[in-house]
Amino acid sequence: MSKLLRRILKISVWPAVLMIAGKLFGIIIANIVYKLDFFIDNQIEGIFSIQLYYTDSNTTILVNSISNLFMIIILAVPTIYSIIKTAIYESTFQNPRTIVKVTKLNIMNWITKDDTSFLLIFIWCSFLLVASLIVVAQTIQGINYSWIGIIAGVLAIFSIWGTIKTYEIEIDKIYPREKELY
């Protein structure tokens, strides 16, 4: 088994677990905070055999929206952190001002070790993109609040942009831009 595949598998476990955990945690929180009654039913039709349901459509939308919000936040926070960290790390090589700002903000540990790679950001962004697309699709179907759908849409665009930007940074390491050399 190749090292790359092994590394991808290792990185993919956490976002996969957090995606499910975020959704589940959101449902539990919504049920506790709003003191809701939910029902679990088994059905023999469709793909899924077990389905969670509520008797009121407003409650369904509320629980779905809160759980979706939790899910995308849980995925977005580490993704955004990795992208910002990589951007700052790369910026310190080219711009001394960044080092001064980083020192002032007391986040020197962000740039002392390059433990974020393109692969890590790419996988986290992929999971964030999948989660965001599910939320956007559910917003179009009318089972999610529109403002959460907008947030998910923005995050989907951001995750694509973040992946491209990190890819550019990685490419620049191998093939530096001409204007910076001459």
Residues at the interface with another protein (CB under 8 A): 1-2, 5-6, 8-9, 12-13, 16-17, 19-20, 23-24, 27, 38-39, 41, 47-48, 50-57, 59-60, 63-64, 67-68, 71, 126-127, 130-131, 134, 138, 143
Under a CB-based contact definition with an 8 Å cutoff, are residues 85 and 110 in contact? yes
User: Over 105-131, what HEC string results?
Assistant: CCCCHHHHCCCCCHHHHHHHHHHHHHH
> What would you report as the CA-atom Rg of the chain, rounded to the nearest whole angstrom?
20
Choose between 8 and 169: whose C-beta lies nearer to another protein: 8
Min. distance of Cβ 155 from another protein in angstroms?
Answer: 15
Angle at 114 between CA 75 and CA 85, to 5 degrees: 45
Give least dist CB 129 to another protein, A. Answer: 11
Query: Measured from the CB atom, is 68 or 92 closer to another protein?
Result: 68
Closer residue to another protein (CB): 37 or 178: 37
Cβ closest to another protein, residue 57 vs residue 94:
57
User: Shortest approach of another protein to residue 79 CB, angstroms?
Assistant: 15
What's the Cα-to-Cα distance from 87 to each of 33, 61, 79, 132, 171, rounded to whole Å?
38, 37, 12, 23, 14
Among positive and negative, which fits the CA dihedral 176, 178, 179, 181?
Answer: positive
Least distance to another protein, CB of residue 116, Å: 20
Give least dist CB 163 to another protein, A. 15
Cα 58–chain centre separation: 27
